[in-house]
Amino acid sequence: MSRSNQIQGKSSPAPQTSADLTRSNSALADKVLADPSIFPDEFTAWIPRWIMQNVNFKVSAGQLPTLEAVKVIGSGNGQPAFQNSWVAFGTSDAIPGFYKDAWGNVYLQGTLKSGTVGTTMFTLPAGYRPQRIVIFPVASNAAFGVCVVNVDGTVVASAGSNTYFSLAGIVFRAFQ
């Protein structure tokens, strides 16, 4: 019984050999893209490198993970509100928001202003919070800024300037 059948609790009529999975690299890649959870992280990390080295490899749109839409902070519609006088910097800059990719990484984006440094800017909902406190250096009006994301979801401008405070480049693994 193959490893995928063991995990899914199904039996196959004939035992599957490792040769069946490695008959071609594309068959193996198709299997991983169909259900990456059945393979270890080290193996699934290999797939993007292999694809980049094989220019003839083709993937259909249905095999790619779908991207979650950006959840805009302060937009209403059940999204987190700004706190402590923090607001979006302006319409020409990236809008403050967040999203999670297919691998559970949370991405913050946007620029904020006018709040009180040392206070919470907004609170991430459950499913978008880290397992442990994470601390990031950020750009903040040509000064060194520090953004702290706490396990309760509070995103705090710990140090920097309130003229503008960037969330660009903040990525962390969500705790499920």
- Would the CA dihedral through 150, 156, 81, 173 be positive or negative? negative
**Average pLDDT value for residue range 161-167:** 95
153 compared with 47, residue with greater pLDDT: 153
Band (5; pLDDT cuts 50, 70, 90): very low
Band (167; pLDDT cuts 50, 70, 90): very high
What's the pLDDT tens digit per position in 67-110?
899 999 999 989 999 999 999 998 777 899 999 998 899 999 99
Rg over alpha carbons for the chain, rounded to the nearest Å, is 21
> Which tokens go with 111?
């620029």
Average of per-residue pLDDT values in the chain: 83
Residues 160/145, Cβ–Cβ less than 8 Å: yes
Phi first, then psi: give them for residue 60, nearest 5 degrees: -80, 160
Whether residue 17 has pLDDT greater than 70: no
Q: Rank 12-26, 41-55, 89-103, 144-158 by mean pLDDT and report only the highest.
A: 144-158
* Largest interatomic CA distance in the chain: 66
Q: Which pLDDT score is estimated for 98? A: 97
Using DSSP, state whether 53 is helix, strand or coil: helix
Q: Which pLDDT score is estimated for 50? A: 73
CA distances, 72 to each of 22, 77, 82, 112, 121 (Å): 43, 9, 10, 12, 13
Q: Hey, what domains does the chain have and what are their CATH numbers?
A: 3-63 (no CATH), 71-173 (2.60.40)
Phi first, then psi: give them for residue 157, nearest 5 degrees: -85, 90
Whether residue 126 has pLDDT greater than 50: yes
159's CB contacts (< 8 A; 6+ apart) are: 117, 118, 140, 144, 145, 146
pTM, entire model: 0.66
